[in-house]
Amino acid sequence: MPMDHLSTTFATLADPTRRAILARLALGEATVNELAAPFAMSLPAVSKHLKVLEHAGLITRGREAQWRPCRLEAGPLKDVSGWLEHYRRFWDDSFDRMAVYLNEIQTKGDPDGRKN
Protein backbone atom coordinates (compact mmCIF):
# COMPACT_ATOMS: atom_id res chain seq x y z
CA MET A 1 0.00 0.00 0.00
CA PRO A 2 2.71 2.54 0.82
CA MET A 3 4.13 3.09 -2.64
CA ASP A 4 7.65 4.41 -2.88
CA HIS A 5 8.39 7.50 -4.87
CA LEU A 6 10.10 5.80 -7.79
CA SER A 7 7.39 3.17 -8.14
CA THR A 8 4.76 5.89 -8.22
CA THR A 9 6.66 7.76 -10.90
CA PHE A 10 7.13 4.70 -13.09
CA ALA A 11 3.51 3.65 -12.68
CA THR A 12 2.40 7.12 -13.65
CA LEU A 13 4.59 7.14 -16.74
CA ALA A 14 3.30 3.72 -17.80
CA ASP A 15 0.19 5.22 -19.35
CA PRO A 16 0.53 6.65 -22.88
CA THR A 17 -2.21 9.20 -22.27
CA ARG A 18 -0.29 10.59 -19.34
CA ARG A 19 2.97 10.68 -21.29
CA ALA A 20 1.18 12.53 -24.07
CA ILE A 21 -0.09 15.03 -21.53
CA LEU A 22 3.46 15.57 -20.30
CA ALA A 23 4.64 16.03 -23.87
CA ARG A 24 1.99 18.68 -24.35
CA LEU A 25 2.95 20.40 -21.14
CA ALA A 26 6.56 20.49 -22.25
CA LEU A 27 5.34 23.12 -24.72
CA GLY A 28 3.85 25.22 -21.94
CA GLU A 29 0.96 25.43 -19.52
CA ALA A 30 -2.45 24.17 -20.57
CA THR A 31 -5.94 23.84 -19.15
CA VAL A 32 -7.76 20.56 -18.61
CA ASN A 33 -9.93 21.02 -21.68
CA GLU A 34 -6.93 21.81 -23.83
CA LEU A 35 -5.16 18.75 -22.53
CA ALA A 36 -8.21 16.57 -23.07
CA ALA A 37 -8.90 17.70 -26.63
CA PRO A 38 -6.61 15.23 -28.45
CA PHE A 39 -8.01 12.19 -26.69
CA ALA A 40 -10.99 10.02 -27.51
CA MET A 41 -11.95 9.82 -23.88
CA SER A 42 -14.22 11.62 -21.48
CA LEU A 43 -13.19 14.70 -19.54
CA PRO A 44 -13.46 12.94 -16.16
CA ALA A 45 -11.04 10.33 -17.43
CA VAL A 46 -8.51 13.01 -18.27
CA SER A 47 -9.20 14.68 -14.96
CA LYS A 48 -8.28 11.42 -13.26
CA HIS A 49 -5.06 11.19 -15.25
CA LEU A 50 -4.19 14.69 -14.13
CA LYS A 51 -4.83 13.76 -10.55
CA VAL A 52 -2.46 10.82 -10.93
CA LEU A 53 0.17 13.07 -12.49
CA GLU A 54 -0.27 15.61 -9.73
CA HIS A 55 -0.03 12.97 -7.03
CA ALA A 56 3.20 11.78 -8.62
CA GLY A 57 4.53 15.34 -8.51
CA LEU A 58 4.85 15.46 -12.29
CA ILE A 59 2.52 18.44 -12.62
CA THR A 60 1.24 21.27 -10.49
CA ARG A 61 -2.02 23.12 -10.97
CA GLY A 62 -2.80 26.80 -10.61
CA ARG A 63 -6.12 28.61 -10.49
CA GLU A 64 -7.20 31.25 -12.92
CA ALA A 65 -10.92 31.90 -12.75
CA GLN A 66 -12.59 28.65 -13.73
CA TRP A 67 -9.46 27.23 -15.30
CA ARG A 68 -6.86 25.05 -13.63
CA PRO A 69 -3.75 25.53 -15.74
CA CYS A 70 -1.36 22.61 -15.49
CA ARG A 71 2.39 22.95 -15.45
CA LEU A 72 5.05 20.32 -15.94
CA GLU A 73 7.22 19.50 -12.93
CA ALA A 74 10.29 17.48 -13.83
CA GLY A 75 11.62 16.62 -10.41
CA PRO A 76 10.47 12.98 -10.49
CA LEU A 77 11.92 12.64 -13.98
CA LYS A 78 15.27 13.65 -12.61
CA ASP A 79 14.95 10.83 -10.08
CA VAL A 80 14.21 8.39 -12.88
CA SER A 81 17.25 9.66 -14.71
CA GLY A 82 19.33 9.12 -11.61
CA TRP A 83 18.05 5.58 -11.26
CA LEU A 84 18.78 4.89 -14.91
CA GLU A 85 22.37 5.97 -14.54
CA HIS A 86 23.13 2.80 -12.61
CA TYR A 87 22.39 0.87 -15.77
CA ARG A 88 23.80 3.15 -18.41
CA ARG A 89 26.99 1.14 -18.70
CA PHE A 90 24.90 -1.80 -19.90
CA TRP A 91 23.91 -0.08 -23.08
CA ASP A 92 26.09 2.94 -23.62
CA ASP A 93 29.42 2.05 -25.12
CA SER A 94 30.59 5.59 -24.62
CA PHE A 95 29.74 5.37 -20.95
CA ASP A 96 33.30 5.86 -19.88
CA ARG A 97 33.70 9.12 -21.68
CA MET A 98 30.30 10.15 -20.35
CA ALA A 99 31.33 9.34 -16.82
CA VAL A 100 34.48 11.34 -17.26
CA TYR A 101 32.52 14.29 -18.55
CA LEU A 102 29.91 14.09 -15.82
CA ASN A 103 32.55 14.01 -13.18
CA GLU A 104 34.19 16.96 -14.83
CA ILE A 105 31.17 19.22 -14.87
CA GLN A 106 30.13 18.17 -11.40
CA THR A 107 33.42 19.06 -9.81
CA LYS A 108 34.33 22.06 -11.92
CA GLY A 109 31.66 23.25 -14.34
CA ASP A 110 28.53 22.90 -12.26
CA PRO A 111 27.70 26.16 -10.44
CA ASP A 112 27.18 24.55 -7.06
CA GLY A 113 29.78 21.90 -7.75
CA ARG A 114 28.00 19.03 -6.04
CA LYS A 115 29.27 15.51 -6.29
CA ASN A 116 25.92 13.80 -6.36
Partner DNA sequence: ACTATATTTAACTTAGAGGTTAATTAACTT
Partner DNA sequence: AAGTTAATTAACCTCTAAGTTAAATATAGT
Interaction mask 62-101, DNA, x per CB under 7 A: -x-xxxxx--------------------------------
- Compute the distance between CA of residue 9 and CA of residue 32 in angstroms, rounded to an integer: 21
Nearer to DNA, 54 or 79 (CB): 54
73 neighbors 60 (Cβ within 8 angstroms): yes
Beta bridge partners of 67: 64
- By CB under 8 A, residue 44 contacts a second copy: no
Options 8-16, 71-79, 84-92, 93-101: segment touching DNA (CB under 7 A): 8-16
